[in-house]
Amino acid sequence: MATIPRPIPSDIAFTPTVKAFQQRKGSRHAYARMEQSRGWPNAITPELQGFIAEIRSFYLATANADGQPYIQHRGGPVGFLHVLDAQTLAFADFSGNKQFITSGNLADNPKAFIFLMDYAHRQRIKIWGEARIVDDQPELLQRLMPTDYPAKAEQVVVFKVLAWDANCPQHIPVRFEAAQVKAALDERDARIRALEQEVARLKAPAHD
């Protein structure tokens, strides 16, 4: 009896059709070696958890029953995307425009995708998985709701991680958060004031 190859995490993205394109374009050999050696992780590592802990926004992609994709931005304070365990992410779903496209898509099709971007360090992480809406666990919602954040949350999105990959920094523009820019400018201004005071002291006439 022929042995059926066991699926590996990257198979969630590298379908037979994708692999055929890789073969035709000359990249299949390199990706095959990756699959045989380390492959893609299917659990949240300490490195990924640290990356997530600094995230203030991300993009969540879903698709409806017909396969029509939809992507939505999710933002909040640092730490609003939580790691519940080695394979589970969750966040409080803040109220918005009441379209509920993501909620409807997940009711029909649990497949989902999270795209994380750190522009300052030119790092991006792609996470494949399945998600569901939880609107009947107020204690979980309270646990995930950021303290003193001016928003209302109606439900929780729970995301099961099936595979993830970190991309190269190619073509990522360097951008900084406004708070990072302000901190750098404040530090510069404080240094300028200190130097001006030192120059003034050195120019002041000496007193006997």
Instruction: Note the pLDDT tens digit of each residue in 75-131.
Output: 999 999 999 999 999 999 998 888 999 999 999 999 999 999 988 888 999 999 999
Phi, psi of 36 (to 5 degrees): -80, -25
Between CA 116 and CA 16 the distance in angstroms is 26
Q: How many beta carbons lie within 10 A of that of residue 133, not counting itself?
A: 19
**pLDDT tens-digit map of 54-91:** 999 999 999 999 999 999 999 999 999 999 999 999 99
Q: Which segment, 38-42, 112-116, 150-154, 173-177, is predicted with the most confidence on average?
A: 112-116
Class of domain 46-167: mainly beta
Which among 3, 5, 22, 4 has a CA at the least distance from the CA of 14? Answer: 22
Neighbours of 44 (CB within 10 A): 20
Per domain, the residue ranges of the chain are: 8-39, 46-167, 176-208
Q: What is the pLDDT of residue 5?
A: 59
Contact 133, 103 (CB under 8 A): yes
SS3 142: helix
Q: Residue 149: what residue type?
A: Y
Structure pTM? 0.84
